[in-house]
Structure formats: structure tokens, C-alpha cells
Amino acid sequence: MAFAIASKCAIVTGGASGISLAFAKLLVQKGAKVVVADLQRTPALDELMKQRQDDIFFQKTDLTQWDQLHDLFKFTKNRLGKVDVLCNSAGVFEPPWSNFWKDTEETSYKSIDLNVSALMKGTRLAIRDQITRVSPPPSTRTVGVILNVSSLAAQFPLFNQPLYCSSKAAVSAFTRALAPLHKEFGIKVVAVAPGNVATPLWTEDIKKVFRADDVVIQPEEVADVMLRVIEGAEYPGGTVLEVTKGRTRFLAVDSPVASGPGATTSNMGVIYDETITLLDQERQK
């Protein structure tokens, strides 16, 4: 069931920068209208909104606060009338303020709240909106799409970033679990799993893992694949599509770990050793 993006209405979370901004820009270029949800605007987003002021809008949103998620959907429906596409692309790569090993949080892991809980709640709200547009099941057309951004990290363990790889594994599993929504109600829930992308998500710590010959993927390359997954009939609900440099691959639960350009971080041992040192210091306290 193909799904043309032209004239559709979309929410893009985390859309002020990185992959999300590249995707929001691509959507408006293809004729969609977009609401960007993020904590703050950026100069790059401001420039896009200036150029396409009738097509892209901003709603300040802390996605971890469910009341603000509800407000986001209300704003979008009031402004655009409906939510044809939800792109759950906001996320963090285990930053210092929400890090399993640094262990500074007292009430919850905020990175899990954002990477997993906010994504799941946003998905539920999108389903509630989209399901009103379908005939009794089974469906013969795609009425809406929910696109989640997972990661290659979902496929293999990262000792120094256990929250991140676990959160992305949850995103992939969640996407697969919702596969029946497509054939029953025409709601397509799919995911992309990018490799090493040149975005602000990378902290200074994680930049240490790259060697000069490691390849990174540009956000625009991932955005192109995201659009393809949304529109293409060959990507049914439950699809998790790996994205590395110049190629894609369907990921099954037992798919082997990715290799090749855009998938390698040759100096990963550097931050592995740093984590071991941190734990040894903790042991000696």
C-alpha cells in the first residue's frame, strides 16, 4: 500500500537539528506541511521557517512530559487538521546528564524517558488520531504512517552506552510488535536504523571512537531513506530498515551486525577503557 507524502500533514519530533531537521526540510520540499516539536528553535530551523512560513510550524515541547505531548497533537490538529505522519526522531546518545555509568539521576533515566517512553506515548496518540479514518478491518490502503528512528546500536551491545543501545532495541521491538496495525487498520508503523550519522547527537566523548578512515553518513542521506520507507509499498508495517553509507538492509530480529562504511567506530575501545576506569574508581571508594 503506497502512501504519497504530498499534501500530507506531519509531526517531526526533535526537528530543530540533525536527521530530524533534514527530514522536515525534505517533507516540505515534497509538498507536506510539518509541525516541528523540540525544546527550542535553532538558526537552521528559523531559516527554513522563514523560507517556508506557510508549510512548517514550531511547537515548543518537552516530549518526556505527556501533557505537552497531548498539547502537541492538539496544536497540530488545530493548525493542520490531522496527523498523517508522526516521525519519532528525537533522541539522545546517553549524554553526561543521563548516563548509566555516571549515575547522576535520582528519579528516572531521562534518556529512556525520551528515547522510549515519549516515543511510545506519541505513537499511541497518533494511532488514536489515524484510526478514525479507516473502514472496518482489514484495510486496503495506508491511512497514516508512524516512523520511528532506531539505530544500528539496537543490534549489538555497547558496554559504555547500555541505556542507548537498550533504548534503541526497544524501539525496534516496539515497531515490529505493531506490524499488524498496517493490514488491519492501514496504520503503517516502521523504523529506520541509521549507522554513524554526522549530527549534534554525537557528544565529545563519542567522537573519540572514530578514526580518520571511519565513514559517517550525512543527515540528508538518512532523510531520503526515511521518505522512501514512508511512501514505498515495499516497506510494510513492522519494517526496520538499516541505513549505512550508500546502502540499506532489512533487519530481522536475528540479523548479523552491520559492517562497512557508516557502520564502523574503530576506536570504541577508548571509551570502553574509560568506563572500566570509572568503575574501578568507584570500586575503590
Spatial contact of 34 and 55, defined as CB atoms under 8 Å apart: yes
At 69-112, the pLDDT tens digits run 999 999 999 999 999 999 999 999 888 889 999 999 999 999 99
Q: In the chain, pLDDT over 70 holds for what percent of residues?
A: 86
Which pLDDT score, from 0 to 100, does residue 136 have? 79
pLDDT in the model for residue 218: 93
Name the residue among 261, 269, 225 with its Cα closest to residue 245: 261
Question: Is the separation of the CB atoms in 95 and 203 below 8 Å?
Answer: yes
- In the block, cell 497533537 appears at 73
253 vs 40, residue with greater confidence: 40
Instruction: Grade residue 240 by pLDDT with cuts at 50, 70 and 90.
Output: very high
Does pLDDT of 205 surpass 80? no
**Mind listing the pLDDT tens digit for each residue in 4-31?**
999 999 999 999 999 999 999 999 999 9
pLDDT at 271 over 80: no
Please state the length of the chain.
Answer: 285
How far is Cα 126 from Cα 159, in angstroms, rounded to an integer?
Answer: 34
> Quick one: pLDDT band at residue 139, thresholds 50, 70, 90?
confident
Q: What is the mean pLDDT of the chain?
A: 90
- What is the distance between the alpha carbons of residues 198 and 165, in angstroms, rounded to a whole number? 18
Domain boundaries, the chain: 9-284
Q: Looking at the chain, which runs of residues are DSSP E strands? A: 9-13, 33-38, 56-60, 85-88, 144-149, 187-194, 240-244, 247-250
**Alpha carbon distance 86, 126 (integer Å):** 7
C-alpha cell at 273: 577503557
pLDDT at 63 over 60: yes
- For residue 51, pLDDT beyond 70: yes
What's the confidence (pLDDT) of residue 72? 99
- Pick the residue with more confidence: 72 or 273? 72
CATH class of 9-284: alpha beta
Residue type, 173: A
Q: Is the pLDDT of residue 132 over 80?
A: yes
d(CA 111, CA 147): 19
Which tens digits make up the pLDDT trace of 156-180?
888 888 999 999 999 999 999 999 9
